[in-house]
A and B are shown apart, each in its own frame.
Chain A
Amino acid sequence: AQSVTQLDSQVPVFEEAPVELRCNYSSSVSVYLFWYVQYPNQGLQLLLKYLSGSTLVKGINGFEAEFNKSQTSFHLRKPSVHISDTAEYFCAQTSGSRLTFGEGTQLTVNP
């Protein structure tokens, strides 16, 4: 079965600092990978996705992620975070007709 591992359950950072949220996925013949953000009491919003092609994927709100096949990783990065980036972030992988999610990483940006 597919599994997605988010290596950090909580990541506190200061405003304007860089951040990396780590994600490892299950190796598969074809891999589609995603990062979603969830603000309190809201649904999931797609940040970015990797389907094929360039291993560096740029998303919304200044986030980017790098697909690394040899390390089966898909880490999310932002060079300078804002208070408004405080939210839960989920890494996900397609598995047939479904998305398999990681447990989530709570990013807290402090002033």
Chain B
Amino acid sequence: GAGVSQSPRYKVAKRGQDVALRCDPISGHVSLFWYQQALGQGPEFLTYFQNEAQLDKSGLPSDRFFAERPEGSVSTLKIQRTQQEDSAVYLCASSLDLGGGGYTFGSGTRLTVV
């Protein structure tokens, strides 16, 4: 597609529920990133894929967070047993390569845990 597509745009989850957030990157983009943006804050790095390989997951806040990109295109960020502090906007970005910071961001998924 023309841009990075994320779904759903909004998600309300009850505390303890599992959620799955989807990112559809620009076709042919090798690199894919997930960021978490809390209200009034800058985005914080979560994880990075190069094709299907997850090369950096050091930003994942706990073992409740899991990301995958099995075929090197669409990626899913899964959060198990959601907690209120997980409420944030989750941004996905893709890039043709690592150099030059040519990242294209999606519109994000706003997750609210109640």
Contact = CB atoms under 8 A, between A and B. Distances in A.
- Of the four ranges (under 10, 10 to 19, 20 to 34, 35 or more), the interface on chain B belongs to 20 to 34
B104 to A, nearest CB: 8
Contacts of A74: none
Interface residues of A, number: 24
Those 9 A-B pairs whose CB atoms lie nearest each other, nearest first: A101-B42, A43-B105, A44-B105, A98-B45, A43-B107, A97-B48, A103-B42, A101-B43, A104-B42
Interface of B: 4, 31, 33, 35, 40-45, 48, 55-56, 59, 91, 93, 98, 100-103, 105-108, 110
18 contacts: A41-B107, A43-B4, A43-B105, A43-B108, A46-B102, A51-B101, A90-B42, A90-B43, A92-B101, A97-B48, A97-B98, A98-B45, A98-B59, A100-B45, A101-B44, A103-B42, A104-B40, A104-B41
Interface of A: 4, 32, 34, 36, 41-46, 49, 51, 90, 92, 94, 96-104
